[in-house]
Structure 1
Amino acid sequence: MMKKISILGVPMDLGQNRRGVDMGPSAIRYAGVIERLEKLKLDIDDLGDVAIPRPNRKEPQMQDNLRNLKEVAEGNELLAEKVDQIVSEGSFPLILGGDHSIAMGTLAGVSKHYENLGVIWYDAHGDLNSSETSPSGNIHGMPLAVSLGIGHERLVNIHGYQPKLKPENIVIVGARSLDEGERELIKERGIKVFTMHEVDRMGMTQVMKETVDYLRDRTDGVHLSLDLDGLDPSDAPGVGTPVMGGMSYRESHLAMEMLQESGMITSAEFVEVNPILDEKNKTADTAVGLMGSLLGEKLK
């Protein structure tokens, strides 16, 4: 883990149709992320927020069964450039969302610096849809597929190259809501998935041990993409697509602590914090606590 952390907010709410998640970066900052990480003797540089293009219309535009395609693509291009620069300067990118469509830009900026970037996708959803399989047209359900080179050319070519990831370098943790097209893609590409069934049966300790062992020898860097809806809604109520039966606050802290001990995480993003749907900023507080564990906080 690097000692210099560059924090970048991405107030993106165009990858889905529930307003409020654009305020996620502000909610996370309000929850004290800077102060929390500075206590760990980390060199924190808050770069502010990416300027996300806003549509000049009231209703979201559907293009090729994709909601707000133009603005989502443009925002992720800007994000990719900034993340690319952060990594080039030797800093650890810590990205605050925003909806999960921002993973397209984060991964585009990070992956060009690695031969075999690994990804831990900590999420209730697979985000492996395309315009052909998506029931909603919401791009926040597509970033992992896009990063594999599957989807609209405007998205898969963000930052000028594709694919960003290899399917064998991905581990999805906590899945409990997968569309049929996603299930087929997982089988077809051989993507490793620990569903909530495995988390419950094996325990989080074994799941994370196997995740770390699986990725360690095949990757030269690992990105953590953590969607707060991976946690149970009782611990993270302020998300746009809550799914009952998720990972607990304690399990998630254990997962972050084990990733910190592994020393393999080279970038991270925390997404889908929606303060409008939250209870007294509880979900942002949870996100900040998990960031603390990932970046070195210990109970003793």
Structure 2
Amino acid sequence: MKISIILASYDSGHYHGGMGQGPDALISGGLVETLTMAGHEIEVEDIGRVGDAQEREIATGFAVCNAVAAEVRLARDRGCFPIVLSGNCLTSAGAVAGEGADAIVWADQHGDLNTPETSVYGFLDGMALATVLGLCWRPMTAAIPGFQPIDPSRCVLVNARDLDPAEKQLLETLPIFRTECPGVAQAIERLKAAGAKRIHMHLDLDVHDPKELQANRYVSSGGPNPEQLRGAACVMALAMPVVGITVSAYDPGFDAQGDVPPLVGQLLNDLIATIEGK
């Protein structure tokens, strides 16, 4: 398969800071070599610096989305499958726009369903899924070429367990399907019933059980081990049309032994093989 790996090396508006170091660390950790050895043709595109020099979180965050949307669209025009490596989860809004995705699988220990009205901390990335679903920041997403909000009935939230009270309340009112990895078969049926045709798969690496794999400073007990996440993702990819993947939130500063890159390589290798073999 022809694959375009797109690097978006930002964390909260800062270039190559914190989780913004993750994309380069995954590349230097052997991701290209892993996928090449599996027979894939790999190209790597880096959006580089975007926005203004002040690195304001909101402005820069959406500038990253715009740049990613453009790169994803170009990749698909070249017949490449897009994999976005990002520091922040918000970047998936750009991937969704570039792919024309109409459904999303969101694997994350957090709900990312806050809005400016409900957020306790004002953390933009805590509003990432809400943004993708069109619940907030509508003027900003309207400026992303090709962006269409995803209907909440076509959203699957996997292993979210660190939720703010407002997020819990919102989840009681929206048709988002929540599941843990063993329950993805039911999630597939829900997406099919909702008419999903083009699925974006968002994989925040802190979805893992931190006792098994710690990808960043955010730690919440529970969650799948790498094998469980990989198995669940492949089950979904086998049954549904996945048109792109985002891998986010890896901070190599919390991975002294370099455990994460090989596991991401295995995850993506198995996912791509599943998608290609359908």
Q: Does 1:229 align with 2:206?
A: yes
Match of 1:75 in 2: 64
Hey, what's the Cα distance between the residues in 2 that align with 1:135 and 1:286? 33
Aligned-residue offset at 1:27: 0.9
Q: Distance in 1 between matches of 2:38 and 2:98?
A: 26
Query: Counterpart of 2:131?
Result: 146
Is the Cα contact below 8 Å between 1:146 and 1:155 reproduced in 2? no
- Are residue 5 (structure 1) and residue 18 (structure 2) matched? no
Q: What is the total number of aligned residue pairs between the two structures?
A: 272
Partner of 2:235: 258
Deviation of residue 295 (structure 1)? 1.3
| Superposed displacement of residue 77, structure 1 | 1.2
Matched, 1:42 2:18: no
Gaps of 5+ in 1: 62-67
What CA distance in whole angstroms lies between the structure 2 residues aligned with 1:76 and 1:291?
Answer: 22
Q: Is 1:245 equivalent to 2:222 in the alignment?
A: yes
Question: How do residues 128-277 of structure 1 correspond to structure 2 at under 5 angstroms?
Answer: 128-160=113-145, 163-194=148-179, 199=180, 204-205=181-182, 207-217=183-193, 218-262=195-239, 264-277=241-254
Tell me the distance in 1 between the aligned counterparts of 2:125 and 2:74: 24
Q: How far off is 1:97 after superposition?
A: 1.4
Q: What are the ranges of 5 or more consecutive residues in structure 2 without an aligned counterpart?
A: none
Q: 2:96 aligns with which of 101, 104, 107?
A: 107
Q: Which residues in structure 2 correspond to 1:81-100 (within 5 Å)?
A: 81-100=70-89
Distance 1:158 1:294 in 2: 31
1:64 matched to which residue of 2? none
- 1:142 alignment partner, SS class: helix
Q: Deviations over 1:51-80 (max 9, x none)?
A: 2337645xx75xxxxxx1111121211111
Check conservation: 2:2, 2:41, Cα contact below 8 A.
yes
Kindly state the Cα deviation for residue 263 of structure 1 after the two structures are TM-superposed: 5.3
Cα distance in 2 for partners of 1:153, 1:222 equals 21
Distance (whole Å) between structure 2 residues aligned to residue 213 and residue 42 of structure 1: 30
**Deviations 1:63-103 (CA, angstroms, capped at 9, x unpaired):** xxxxx111112121111111122223332110111121211
Q: Is residue 86–residue 247 contact of structure 2 (8 Å, CA) maintained in 1? A: yes
Aligned-pair CA distance for 1:280? 1.9
TM-score with structure 2 setting the length: 0.89
CA contact (8 A) 2:4 2:82 kept: yes
Q: Does structure 2 retain, via aligned residues, the 8 Å contact 1:235–1:283? A: no
Does structure 2 retain, via aligned residues, the 8 Å contact 1:105–1:158?
A: no
Q: Is the 8 A contact 1:27 1:281 kept in 2?
A: no
Q: Distance in 2 between matches of 1:46 and 1:267?
A: 15
Contact 1:51–1:75 (CA<8 Å) still a contact in 2? no
Say which SS state the counterpart of residue 144 (structure 2) adopts.
Answer: helix
Question: Cα gap change, 1:81/1:21 in structure 2, threshold over 3 Å: closer, same or farther?
Answer: same
- 1:224–1:269 contact (8 Å) kept in structure 2: yes
The whole-number CA distance in structure 1 between the counterparts of 2:243 and 2:233 is: 13
Q: Which runs of 4+ in 1 moved over 6 A?
A: none
Q: Distance in 1 between matches of 2:143 and 2:197?
A: 22
